[in-house]
Amino acid sequence: MDCTQNLSLGDPLEPVRKATAQMLHERDHSFSLPQPFYNDERLFQVDMQEIFHKEWLIAGMTSEIPTKGNFLTVQIGDNPIIVIRGAEGQIHAFHNVCRHRGSRLCVSDKGKVAKLVCPYHQWTYELDGRLLFAGTEMGEGFKLSDYNLKPVNCKTAGGFIFISLAENPPAIDEFLSTLAHYMEPYDMENTKVAVQSVMREQANWKLVIENNRECYHCNGSHPELLNTLLEWDDVTDPRASQAFKDQVAECTTRWDKDNIPYAHASFGLRNRIVRMPLLKGTVSMTMDGKQGSKKLMGRITDPDLGSMRILHLPHSWNHCMGDHLINFTVWPISAQESVVITKWLVHKDAVEGVDYDVARLREVWDATNDQDRRLGEENQRGINSTAYQPGPYSKTYEFGVINFLDWYSERMLNNLDDTPAQTLRQVAGE
Ligand code: FES
Ligand SMILES: [Fe+2]
């Protein structure tokens, strides 16, 4: 017996995987999903295996770990991960699991270390994951190099740190090079997190994303956000007015002059980037629409950059303005619980109390997040009812939700399917 491997108890999720694939094959893509996708713990485990353990996730921002030995930690389902800046400035990601008896190595969200030392028996690792020290008790034949930390895929672009637990993660380089280009004006290495919030929401992660992908609910729920946000993100949106199209034309002429990227860029349904104006006369997502930080970011000189929106499925959206940037990530906890982390970033030399006031900076999105949390939680409560059945999306107002679920469904079926769609339909008697 090979004692170095985990033994499997068999896969109790196999029937759930089959049923999940069948439901996805049979769904109407313009309707919300069947109930188990939102509230079943076993299906949640399949989501974690097939989406969150396979996709690229945004672990944080490079400026959060600016120098050698700075680290941050994240939790992907049951998997604790450490992201750390190495000796030459490069960023590594590892499973935050000691190779001795498996203790978590780093227990805080962020910090700085000279070496990674396990709190249990002090096995000590280099910043690049090599085991350096394991006491003197391990006996003859023990080789340090057999017990290096397990690496996690890690890439950076435009100030974002992406990690993936997959053996073969999806292709992402084309998106990353475009992202780097669009983020160039922000000089993200020279930014800092002015403040962050961690919000628990009693709702399935897909409900959090669905809610974010439409603004059908904005009029009824988000008075603070609508002080500055224009709902549509394309001049081709059938709801877009002539005044909006004129405003886009005026802004893009100005942005072209300053070499500020804005054009819509899409990478399948997983990623999209576009810069759109904010409400005329406003420049930032603050209550009065004025700058949240007096110091503009990077090489930016015109505060009126609207907001560059970056979508990264399965779990992040972002607003990049001239004076600050807001990064949102969603982390599933269980079938009916998620955590939303929001980070407000400003120029690293911006001084709190002089250039920006934290309460003012965060006010709009604190209110908006809390409003969205309540909407998500009520959505979850209703879906849990025996009366719930999938309901229709508006193709005009909720196309973003349709796109998200099409992407989710495609990824799930790609990973789950060992049975062609036709056979399943025949099984279902269609
Ligand atoms: S579990 Fe880490 S040193 Fe023992
Ligand atoms: Fe909302």
Q: What atom in ligand 1 is closest to the CA of residue 102? A: 1
Ligand 1: centre distance to CA 429 (Å): 55
Proximal ligand: closest to the CA of 125: 1
Contact 289, 321 (CB under 8 A): no
Proximal ligand: closest to the CA of 216: 2
Which domains are present in the chain? Answer: 57-164 (2.102.10.10), 187-383 (3.90.380.10)
pLDDT digits (tens, 9 = 90+) for 385-417: 999 999 999 999 999 999 999 999 999 999 998
What's the distance, CA 91 to chain centroid?
18
Ligand 1: centre distance to CA 111 (Å): 20
pLDDT digits (tens, 9 = 90+) for 121-153: 999 999 999 999 998 788 889 999 999 999 999
Contact 255, 262 (CB under 8 A): yes
pLDDT at 419 over 90: no
> How much is the CA Rg of the chain, to the nearest whole Å?
23
Q: Report which secondary-structure segment, H or E, holds 414.
A: helix 399-416
Q: What is the distance in angstroms between the CA of the first residue and the CA of the last residue of the chain?
A: 48
Q: 117, 77, 123: which is closest to 100 by C-alpha? A: 123
Q: 355, 359, 276, 352: which is closest to 323 by C-alpha? A: 355
Proximal ligand: closest to the CA of 207: 2
pLDDT digits (tens, 9 = 90+) for 72-92: 999 999 999 999 999 999 999
Nearest-CA residue for atom 4 of ligand 1: 121
For ligand 1, which residues put their CB under 6 angstroms from it? 98, 100-101, 103, 118, 120-123
Higher pLDDT, 1 or 18: 18
Q: What is the mean pLDDT of the chain?
A: 94
The sign of the torsion formed by the CA atoms of 203, 397, 31, 27 equals negative
Q: What atom in ligand 1 is closest to the CA of residue 103? A: 1
Predicted pLDDT of residue 110: 97
Which residues have CB under 8 Å from 242's CB, separation 6+? none
Proximal ligand: closest to the CA of 105: 1
pLDDT at 212 over 80: yes
Instruction: Give percent of the chain above pLDDT 90.
Output: 89
Predicted pLDDT of residue 339: 98
Residue 427: which pLDDT band, with cuts at 50, 70 and 90? very low
Nearest-CA residue for atom 1 of ligand 1: 101
Q: What atom in ligand 1 is closest to the CA of residue 121? A: 3
Mutate to test the pocket of ligand 1, among 82, 99, 103 (most ligand atoms within 8 A of CB): 103
Mutate to test the pocket of ligand 1, among 94, 95, 99, 121 (most ligand atoms within 8 A of CB): 121
Ligand 1: centre distance to CA 340 (Å): 31
Proximal ligand: closest to the CA of 217: 2
Nearest-CA residue for atom 3 of ligand 1: 121
Predicted pLDDT of residue 301: 97
pLDDT at 430 over 50: no
Predicted pLDDT of residue 236: 82
The 191-201 sheet, strands edge to edge: 191-201, 337-347, 325-334, 316-320, 307-312, 271-276, 265-267
- 228 CB neighbour count, 10 Å cutoff: 23
Mutate to test the pocket of ligand 1, among 118, 142, 144, 150 (most ligand atoms within 8 A of CB): 118
Q: What atom in ligand 1 is closest to the CA of residue 99? A: 2
Q: What is the mean pLDDT of residues 289-307?
A: 98
pLDDT at 379 over 60: yes
Contact 42, 13 (CB under 8 A): yes
Instruction: Give percent of the chain above pLDDT 70.
Output: 96
